């Protein structure tokens, strides 16, 4: 890939956001055709020596904090304000009304200024400051109060109500309906937008803060290229150019500054390599079938040899029965030694020979078995990821304690964290490979996919197993662990690149239609 | 709260001079938030001859939130949900279109007008709406049948 191209693409996506370039506002969305799937790199071009080049499964994106979002919003307002010759306050209203589509706003403003201004409630004389006043003989049309000293308010449109009613109206819109940019005058049939000066006059401090928060939110909500990070309490927004129609060919995975990796398409947690549509189908299926499926993902199983109950306590699938020392695979209950060499038949569901599928019962049983095969592995990786994390946290704590009490020489424990992170990430990927595989139609490609899956799974189990070693053993295994960690990461990249390339090329055949 | 005075005023006005073909009263004299309406099917409509019982519920934030209108009598109409709720929810009855100065009288008149002229483009029952648009005869027949069957129409 040509590095000049890379730089330009990164540069331009930056410009678009920071300097109000064209693309976030592009009038006819459908014109600026498909995203350039082969262009751009994931990182700043000048950091190229430090960061690896973008992988085929990665997409360009930026992360913005609240100040940047606000600053950008302000800059847009200022720019358009100069073009339209309107004060910033009115321009902000116009832009919000036009859902931040700058071109469309300017165009329609040039064509029919009065109409546009009237539509957003900025008709002639709109900027005359309004006051809270008492009006003789006034009856509030909302509460029917008619006290002589009733405080009242009206915007330019003249729809006058008592201040209490006005306040309650605004408070309900802001607090309960989460509206801000497009609150209309309470007057019957009146379309005038309540401007923020009127709002300042009427609402208290708490509502005021909420109002401005909502204004910022609408800015992000209104733009297709911006999405809030879904992590709880996270204040960042992601800027990504991938469009909804591209989601059949790409899984746009982004990483927020808060550390949360998620899909820009559907905002669910990282679900590579499965495209959004499959994820949606799979989750729906899991929900529908949860009762039948649950029993199989239970936390305990019986040793296939002696029958004693074994509880899974680490993420590793290599189980050893405490009683009879029998070693087996947690997932398929097969003998572990067989996994060691020919590794793992256990990631692939062997389609049973056709003859017993003849009667309907066997068929539905087989389809349930097939589903459970994939679901079991999907759920297993989810659970193992949690167990991996637990055991890592325990190990890290023990190590630190040992170092403090000086019974152990100080060693760098960073490698444990890297290993733990790799495990989390790889299991997340593995988990979704099973949902992906469930919907794959069987052909030559499936085998490459399954091989990659098998290799990643083996790498993950080998690394996960390390955490079951005692703490003083671990200290001496740093190099080994680092090796296994980078091997895991490499296997993940290989799997994701393969699936992503073929997804882009439309080479995967699924047994369902993606809609 | 501000609502009470307003509700009492509206109730007084409606009961003293009720709109055409309607009788309005409280379901329970001690609760001004639940109204009962008997609405005659308008002469020029397929519901003619029937009498429909409606319940209008005022939320505690009324008039900042719209009233809730429900047909207690089964009715074949694109804008009334064909379930045990019988709810009508369009136009000013929607919270994003409702404005606090809107009055219950206007709501009732809107409901009555919809009996004369259904709004198939904003339907809850899309099947009935489809039929209303493409096979008016069939629609009218069923609507009349239901009116006889459920709304006590004589013939
Ligand atoms: Zn107004
Ligand atoms: Zn009032
Ligand atoms: Zn975040
Ligand atoms: Zn997604
Ligand atoms: Zn196995």
Q: What is the C-alpha separation between A380 and A372, in angstroms, rounded?
A: 11
CA A489–ligand 3 middle distance (angstroms): 23
| CB contacts, 8 Å: A186 with chain B | 99-101
Output the pLDDT for position A19.
38
Neighbours of A41 (CB within 10 A): 22
Better pLDDT: A199 or A77: A77
Least confident of A101-105, A306-310, B4-8: A306-310
Residues 5-64 of B with CB under 8 A from A: 5-6, 9, 61, 63-64
Better pLDDT: A307 or A242: A242
Contact with chain B for residue A164, Cβ under 8 A: yes
Better pLDDT: A160 or A400: A160
The residue ranges of every structural domain in chain A are 14-120+222-270, 127-194, 290-358, 372-505
- Nearest residue of A to residue B3, measured between CA atoms: A143
Residue B5 and residue A142: Cβ atoms within 8 Å?
no
A402: helix, strand or coil: helix
Residues 72-131 of B with CB under 8 A from A: 95-96, 99-102
Cβ contacts of A114 within 8 Å, gap of 6 or more = A123, A124
Output the pLDDT for position A314.
60
Average pLDDT, chain A: 80
Neighbours of A92 (CB within 10 A): 23
Which fold would CATH assign to domain A372-505? 1.20.120
- Nearest residue of A to residue B95, measured between CA atoms: A177
Structure-token pair, residue A318:
């290599």
Q: Where are the alpha helices (DSSP H) in A19-145?
A: 66-84, 88-97, 102-111, 113-119
pLDDT digits (tens, 9 = 90+) for A10-48: 333 433 333 333 333 333 444 444 444 444 333 344 444
Output the pLDDT for position B33.
95
| CB contacts, 8 Å: B102 with chain A | 188
Residue A192 and residue A121 in contact, taking contact as beta carbons nearer than 8 Å: yes
Structure-token pair, residue A394:
């325990």
Residue B36 and residue B27 in contact, taking contact as beta carbons nearer than 8 Å: yes
Q: What is the C-alpha separation between A349 and A370, in angstroms, rounded?
A: 7
* CA triple A432-A58-A373, angle to 5 deg: 10
Residue A142 and residue B6: Cβ atoms within 8 Å?
yes
Q: What is the C-alpha separation between A277 and A501, in angstroms, rounded?
A: 17
Do the interacting molecules here have an ipTM over 0.95?
Answer: no
Q: What is the C-alpha separation between A256 and A253, in angstroms, rounded?
A: 10
Question: Is a pLDDT exceeding 90 seen at residue A175?
Answer: no
Instruction: Give the confidence band of A217 by pLDDT, cuts at 50, 70, 90.
Output: confident
Output the pLDDT for position A281.
93
Catalogue all structural domains in chain B, each as residue range(s) with its CATH number. Answer: 3-150 (3.10.110.10)
Q: What is the C-alpha separation between A83 and A20, in angstroms, rounded?
A: 13
Whole-angstrom CA distances from A66 to A255, A262, A263 are 17, 19, 21
Average pLDDT, chain B: 92
Question: Is a pLDDT exceeding 90 seen at residue B2?
Answer: no
Output the pLDDT for position A490.
97
Least confident of A27-36, A94-103, A147-156, A442-451: A27-36
CA A289–ligand 3 middle distance (angstroms): 31
Q: What is the C-alpha separation between A198 and B25, in angstroms, rounded?
A: 40
Output the pLDDT for position A407.
59
| Residue A353 DSSP code | P
| CB contacts, 8 Å: B9 with chain A | 144
| CB contacts, 8 Å: A184 with chain B | 99
Contact with chain B for residue A235, Cβ under 8 A: no
Whole-angstrom CA distances from A196 to A88, A173, A178, A211, B96 are 11, 14, 15, 9, 20
Exactly one of A162, A240, A316, A346 is catalytic; which is it? Answer: A316
Output the pLDDT for position B12.
94
Q: What is the C-alpha separation between A172 and B99, in angstroms, rounded?
A: 12
Residue A65 and residue A236 in contact, taking contact as beta carbons nearer than 8 Å: yes
Q: What is the C-alpha separation between B55 and A96, in angstroms, rounded?
A: 39
Contact with chain B for residue A493, Cβ under 8 A: no
Average pLDDT over residues A268-272: 95
Q: What is the C-alpha separation between A57 and A193, in angstroms, rounded?
A: 44
Question: Is a pLDDT exceeding 80 seen at residue A205?
Answer: yes
Nearest-CB residue to A164 (from B2, B65, B95)? B2
Nearest-CB residue to A144 (from B5, B99, B102)? B5
The torsion angles phi and psi of B51, rounded to 5 degrees, stand at -125, 130
Question: Is a pLDDT exceeding 70 seen at residue A355?
Answer: no
* CA triple A397-A402-A403, angle to 5 deg: 100
Length in residues, chain A: 515
Length in residues, chain B: 155
- Nearest residue of A to residue B4, measured between CA atoms: A143
Q: What is the C-alpha separation between A68 and A219, in angstroms, rounded?
A: 12
Whole-angstrom CA distances from A178 to A182, A356, A505 are 10, 58, 42
Structure-token pair, residue B2:
């501000």
Neighbours of A414 (CB within 10 A): 10
Output the pLDDT for position B90.
84
| CB contacts, 8 Å: B101 with chain A | 141-142, 161, 186-188
Q: What is the C-alpha separation between A409 and A397, in angstroms, rounded?
A: 15
Q: What is the C-alpha separation between A501 and A250, in angstroms, rounded?
A: 9
CA A273–ligand 4 middle distance (angstroms): 10
Contact with chain B for residue A382, Cβ under 8 A: no
Q: What is the phi-psi region of residue A336: left when phi exceeds 0, alpha when psi lies from -120 to 50, beta otherwise?
A: alpha
What is the edge-to-edge ordering of all strands in the sheet holding A62-64? A62-64, A237-239, A226-228
Instruction: Give the confidence band of A5 by pLDDT, cuts at 50, 70, 90.
Output: very low
Contact with chain B for residue A168, Cβ under 8 A: yes
Contact with chain B for residue A169, Cβ under 8 A: yes
Output the pLDDT for position A326.
82
* A157 carries an active-site annotation: no
Which of B68, B79, B77 has its CA nearest to residue B150? B77
């Amino acid at each position: 890939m040509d590095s000049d191209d890379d730089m330009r693409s990164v540069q331009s996506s930056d410009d678009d956001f920071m300097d109000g370039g064209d693309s976030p506002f592009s009038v006819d969305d459908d014109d600026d055709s498909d995203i350039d799937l082969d262009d751009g790199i994931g990182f700043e071009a000048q950091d190229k020596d430090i960061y690896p080049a973008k992988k085929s499964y990665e997409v360009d994106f930026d992360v913005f904090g609240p100040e940047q979002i606000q600053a950008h919003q302000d800059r847009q307002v200022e720019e358009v304000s100069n073009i339209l010759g309107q004060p910033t306050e009115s321009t902000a209203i116009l832009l919000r009304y036009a859902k931040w589509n700058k071109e469309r706003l300017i165009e329609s403003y040039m064509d029919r200024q009065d109409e546009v201004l009237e539509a957003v409630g900025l008709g002639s004389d709109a900027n005359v400051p309004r006051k809270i006043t008492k009006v003789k003989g006034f009856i509030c049309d909302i509460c029917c109060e008619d006290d002589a000293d009733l405080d009242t308010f009206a915007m330019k449109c003249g729809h006058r109500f008592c201040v209490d009613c006005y306040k309650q109206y605004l408070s309900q819109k802001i607090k309960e309906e989460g509206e801000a940019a497009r609150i209309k005058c309470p007057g019957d049939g009146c379309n005038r937008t309540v401007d923020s000066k009127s709002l300042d006059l009427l609402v208290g401090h708490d509502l005021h803060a909420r109002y401005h928060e909502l204004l910022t939110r609408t800015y992000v909500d209104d733009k297709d290229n911006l999405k809030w990070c879904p992590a709880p309490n996270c204040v960042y927004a992601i800027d990504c150019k991938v469009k909804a129609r591209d989601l059949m060919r790409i899984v746009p995975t982004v990483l927020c500054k808060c550390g949360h990796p998620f899909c820009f398409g559907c905002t669910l947690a990282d679900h590579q390599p499965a495209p959004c549509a499959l994820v949606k189908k799979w989750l729906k299926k899991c929900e529908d079938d949860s009762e039948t499926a649950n029993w199989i993902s239970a936390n305990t199983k019986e040793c296939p040899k002696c029958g004693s109950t074994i509880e899974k306590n680490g993420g590793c699938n290599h189980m050893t029965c405490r009683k009879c020392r029998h070693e087996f695979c947690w997932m398929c209950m097969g003998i572990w030694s067989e996994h060691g060499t020919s590794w793992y038949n256990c990631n692939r569901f062997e389609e049973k020979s056709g003859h017993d599928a003849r009667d309907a019962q066997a068929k539905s049983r087989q389809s349930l078995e097939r589903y459970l095969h994939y679901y079991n592995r999907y759920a297993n990786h989810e659970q193992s990821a949690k167990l991996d994390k637990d055991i890592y946290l325990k190990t890290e704590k023990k190590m630190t304690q040992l170092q403090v009490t000086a019974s152990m020489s100080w060693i760098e424990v960073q490698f444990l964290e890297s290993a733990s992170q790799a495990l989390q990430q790889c299991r997340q990927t593995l988990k979704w490979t099973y949902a992906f595989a469930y919907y794959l139609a069987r052909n030559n490609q499936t085998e490459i996919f399954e091989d990659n899956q098998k290799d990643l799974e083996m790498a993950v189990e080998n690394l996960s197993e390390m955490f079951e070693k005692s703490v003083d053993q671990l200290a001496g295994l740093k190099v080994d662990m680092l090796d296994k960690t980078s091997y895991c990461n490499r296997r993940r990249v290989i799997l994701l690149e393969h699936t992503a390339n073929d997804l882009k090329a439309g080479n995967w055949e699924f047994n369902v239609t993606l809609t | 709260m501000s609502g009470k005075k307003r509700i009492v005023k509206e109730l007084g006005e409606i009961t003293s001079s009720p709109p055409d073909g309607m009788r309005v009263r409280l379901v329970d004299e001690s609760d001004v938030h639940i109204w009962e309406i008997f609405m005659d099917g308008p002469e020029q409509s397929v519901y003619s001859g029937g009498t429909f019982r409606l319940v209008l519920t005022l939320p505690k934030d009324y008039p900042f939130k719209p009233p809730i209108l429900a047909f207690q009598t089964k009715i074949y109409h694109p804008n009334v949900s064909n379930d045990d709720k019988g709810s009508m929810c369009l136009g000013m009855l929607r919270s994003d279109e409702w404005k606090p100065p809107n009055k219950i009288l206007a709501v009732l008149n809107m409901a009555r007008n919809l009996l004369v002229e259904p709004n198939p483009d904003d339907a809850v029952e899309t099947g009935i709406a489809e039929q209303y648009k493409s096979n008016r005869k069939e629609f009218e027949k069923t609507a009349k049948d239901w009116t006889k069957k459920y709304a006590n129409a004589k013939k």
